[in-house]
Amino acid sequence: MIIQLDPGITPAALETIKQTLQHGGYKSSEVKTQKAYYLVALGTKEIDIRTIGHLAGVRDVHRVSDAYKLVSRKWKVHPTAIDLGDGIRIREGELALIAGPCSIESEEQAQRLAQHLKDNNVRIMRGGAFKPRTSPYSFRGMGLDGLKMFYRVAREHGIRVISEVLEISQIKEMYDYIDIYQVGTRNTQNFSLLHELGRVDKPVLIKRGMSGTIEELLQSAEYIFANGNEQLILCERGIRTFEKAYRNTLDLNAVPALKEKSHLPVIVDPSHGVGVRRWVEPMALAAVMAGADGLLLEIHQTPEEAASDGQQTLNFEESARVFRRAREALAARC
Ligand code: PEP
Ligand code: MN
């Protein structure tokens, strides 16, 4: 059960609500986000929610039987929109295009990329500064200096930046050089990192764990929300299955499922999802038709020379075509 509280509720009124819940067999936790104040109550007994709804300080009461609560669509029917300023948004009914290299490599790369994105009216740029690599001998990113440069170039072009945060100490370091934090598939269940991301006032894109279920992804998002940050974006990026013909199995079932279960925007990363350059476009278009609110694409001026993930990275010509066709797909879907 989710109880939305009046922000100015008195301690006595709060106590009365908690007592009433306790008598009804419910255990409640307070959640104060940057936007609102809630009590999340867990219990199995039947309770007439009107007995809570009538109490002083209560704005609204919703019954949510899912394991995740605040990210559920059962209480918040209006979809969450992420506003990055200057008309740049991630929200239902639109298609947020996010593109850039797997890894930030050089200023020249960033300049060429930003110009290409601007030419194609793509307003969010991706690039990893701290790279989680399977092998310790692979390129592990340019670090904070790379991110600073990337952010400056993006800003010069009116573009927003998303980059992956690997650990708690980086949250603060990255803060001034980022518009959206990305939580990668290897960290989807790093609960201490998720908890800390609840305290920042910038959006967080959370990828599905490579062997994570839909419910686990939603519970991970709940961790961030429950610690204060409501600005969340879910991302399907492919899961591990028995199939070896491609890097991952892009689970597009996740799109309608997540859209139905949660009010958060859902975007799809077909680059990691399929892992093969020539199959990225069809999967990107399929993702749009499945209902995705955006796409996260790896692109590079010369993918063959990319420091990481070149095999799944589109060149500028290919990416321009995907942007155009994805927008056409959105128009056809609506
Ligand atoms: C990435 O976006 O470059 C990345 C490492 O993604 P994932 O966490 O999905 O592997
Ligand atoms: Mn990558």
> What does the pLDDT read at residue 334?
83
Residue nearest to atom 3 of ligand 1 (CA): 102
Where b means 16+ CB within 10 Å and e means fewer, 10-46 reads eeebbebbbebbeebebebeebebeeebbbbbeeeee
Task: Band the pLDDT of 282: cuts 50, 70, 90.
Answer: very high
> What does the pLDDT read at residue 265?
98
Task: Band the pLDDT of 240: cuts 50, 70, 90.
Answer: very high
Chain CA centroid to CA 277, Å: 23
d(CA 246, CA 89): 32
> What does the pLDDT read at residue 77?
87
Residue nearest to atom 9 of ligand 1 (CA): 185
Say if 2-62 and 82-333 have the same CATH topology. Answer: no
Q: What is the mean pLDDT of residues 190-217?
A: 98
Tell me, in angstroms, the distance from the centre of ligand 1 to residue 82's CA: 21
| DSSP code at position 144 | H
Any idea where the domains of the chain sit in the sequence?
2-62, 82-333
> What does the pLDDT read at residue 46?
85
Percent of the chain, pLDDT > 90?
97
Interstrand relation of 96-100 and 82-83 (parallel, antiparallel or unpaired): unpaired
d(CA 267, CA 292): 5
> What does the pLDDT read at residue 126?
98
Angle at the Cα of 78 from the Cα atoms of 76 and 84, rounded to 5 degrees: 110
Nearest to residue 42, comparing CAs of 188, 301, 222? 222
d(CA 141, CA 10): 50
Superfamily name with CATH number, domain 82-333: Aldolase class I (3.20.20.70)
Strands of the 58-62 sheet, one edge to the other: 27-32, 37-42, 2-5, 58-62
Tell me, in angstroms, the distance from the centre of ligand 2 to residue 184's CA: 10
Mutate to test the pocket of ligand 1, among 272, 296, 299, 312 (most ligand atoms within 8 A of CB): 272
* Dihedral sign (CA 121, 123, 124, 125): positive
Atom of ligand 1 nearest to the CA of 269: 9
> What does the pLDDT read at residue 47?
86
Tell me, in angstroms, the distance from the centre of ligand 2 to residue 149's CA: 19
Q: What is the mean pLDDT of residues 303-328?
A: 98
User: How many Cα neighbours within 13 Å face the side chain of 330?
Assistant: 17
Q: What is the mean pLDDT of residues 14-19?
A: 97
Mutate to test the pocket of ligand 1, among 98, 163, 210, 237 (most ligand atoms within 8 A of CB): 237
CB-based contacts of 208, cutoff 8 Å, min separation 6: 185, 188, 214, 217, 234, 235, 236, 237, 239, 251, 254
Residue 325 has pLDDT above 90, yes or no: yes
The amino acid present at 323, given as its one-letter code, is F
Residue 147 has pLDDT above 90, yes or no: yes
Residue nearest to atom 10 of ligand 1 (CA): 185
> What does the pLDDT read at residue 140?
95
Atom of ligand 1 nearest to the CA of 185: 8
> What does the pLDDT read at residue 31?
97
Q: Choose which CATH entry (3.30.70, 3.40.50, 3.30.1490, 1.10.8) describes domain 2-62.
A: 3.30.70
Which residues, judged by CB distance below 6 Å to any ligand atom, belong to the binding site of ligand 1?
A: 102, 128, 132, 184-185, 207, 237, 272
Residue nearest to atom 4 of ligand 1 (CA): 184
pLDDT, tens only, 24-64? 999 999 999 999 999 999 998 888 889 999 999 999 999 99
Interstrand relation of 266-268 and 294-298 (parallel, antiparallel or unpaired): parallel
To the nearest whole number, what is the mean pLDDT of the chain? 97
